[in-house]
Amino acid sequence: MHHALLIALGAAVSTSAIAGGTLPPIGSDLDGNGTIETEGSWITRSLGFLSAGSTVTFSYAFMTDEDPDPDDYNDVFRVRLFDADSGETLAMFGGAVDDPSYNGDVEFEAFDFENPDVDGSVRTPQGLGGSLVFDSGIIGWNEMTLTVPAAIGAGEPSGGEVMIEFLVADSDDTAAESALAIDGLIVNSPTGAPIGLSNAGFESGLAGWAIAGEAMTLANLLDDDSLAEVFFADEGSLFALIATNRIPAPGGAALLALAALAGLRRRR
């Protein structure tokens, strides 16, 4: 896996791939709302062998450049625990850009960006070719806990190797950016005893994670106008971020600006 080191404004940014290019295709309706997710990014790792009742807690924040008005462009994120051998999903949680009228699967909830926790416009620090911009702001940090169930599939006992996957995806287009920030994984046994997990707070970048698409570790996000630091890691000094768009390749920022002037990049 290639890792490029980008020199940022006040922060080091490590990214999973050379800037530019396309993201892995998805081509399915992840959240059950009737709209196909087109492409996205995800990171995955093993949590080890966990017995039923073990819990996995993490902090997350959702951000988007999508217009918060109801429409078909409900970019989504999904977090799931799954069995390493069978791929069977053990527990899942997700969300979508929408108002409370959102009608997806029960595991997914609407994230209404009319009143975000961090107002837009927010961006990643400047990289070699540009940055990702989230005009509708950020919701989070929030905390979620997933529990390993007593059985998987048709009653097969759990207790094998458990994987975790964080995913974010474009819905119905490949345009406006959305991203999921992740920090502070904690794994506990059924009795509540902590189970050690290396690099649980991304202080060693993305070491130990398998990566598809655009993934990076950041120290902060910036106000797009003032360049003030407005969003930080929930714990420690770094957090992970996965995005529905590539950071532009060197020279690509100008092309994006021309596309924006032509009305191709934004739907507002």
C-alpha span between 250 and 18 (Å, rounded): 10
- pLDDT of 234 above 60: yes
Per the structure, the count of domains in the chain is 1
Structural domain for 27, as ranges:
4-245
Question: Which pLDDT belongs to residue 248?
Answer: 74
In a domain, 223, yes or no: yes
Phi, psi of 260 (to 5 degrees): -65, -40
Residue type, 69: D
C-beta neighbour count of 11 within 10 angstroms? 20
The phi, psi pair for 147, rounded to 5°, reads -120, 135
Q: Quick one: pLDDT at residue 252?
A: 46
Confidence of residue 22 (pLDDT cuts 50, 70, 90): confident
Amino acid at 164: I
Using an 8 Å Cβ cutoff, are 215 and 204 in contact?
Answer: no
In contact, 166 and 62? CB cutoff 8 Å: no
Residue tagged 């048709």 (tokens): 154
Q: How far apart are CA 244 and CA 38, in angstroms?
A: 10
**Average predicted confidence (pLDDT) for the chain:** 84
pLDDT in tens, 185-225: 999 999 999 999 999 999 999 999 999 999 999 999 999 99
Residue 266 forms part of a structural domain:
no
pLDDT at 262 over 50: no
In this prediction, residue 9 carries a pLDDT of 32
Q: Determine the distance from the C-alpha atom of residue 171 to the mean position of all C-alpha atoms in its chain, rounded to a whole number.
A: 14
HSE of 250 in the Cβ direction (CA atoms, 13 Å)? 4
In a domain, 158, yes or no: yes
The answer to whether position 206 is within a domain reads yes
3-state secondary structure of 253: helix
Give me the pLDDT at residue 158, please. 53
Cβ–Cβ < 8 Å for 213, 16 = yes
Q: Would you state the pLDDT for residue 254?
A: 44
In which residue are the tokens 């655009």 written?
Answer: 214
What pLDDT is stored for residue 226 in this prediction? 94
Per-residue pLDDT tens over the stretch 172-186: 888 889 999 999 999
Sole residue written with tokens 């994670």 = 209
* Bridge pairing between strands 210-212 and 214-218: unpaired
Low-confidence winner among 159-163, 166-170, 260-264 (lowest mean pLDDT): 260-264
Domain assignment present for 250: no
Please enumerate in sequence order all residues whose Cβ is within 8 A of that of 95, keeping only pairs 6 or more positions apart, or say none: 62, 76, 77, 108, 109, 110, 111
23 secondary structure, DSSP code: P
Query: Which distant-in-sequence residues (6+ apart) come within 8 Å of 232 by Cβ?
Result: 219, 220, 239
- Rounded distance between C-alpha atoms, residue 81 and residue 185, angstroms: 13
pLDDT band at 120; cut points 50, 70, 90:
confident
Judge whether 259 lies within some domain.
Answer: no
Indicate whether 96 belongs to any domain.
Answer: yes
Cβ contact 97:74 at 8 Å: yes
Residue 264 in domain:
no
At which residue do the structure tokens 């462009």 appear? 73
pLDDT bucket at 249, cuts 50 / 70 / 90: low
Q: What is the CA radius of gyration of the chain?
A: 18
- Give me the mean pLDDT over the 91-107 stretch: 92
pTM: 0.85
For 40, counting Cβ atoms within 10 Å of its Cβ (0-12 exposed, 13-18 middle, 19+ buried), the class is buried
Q: How confident is the model at residue 100 (pLDDT cuts 50, 70, 90)?
A: confident
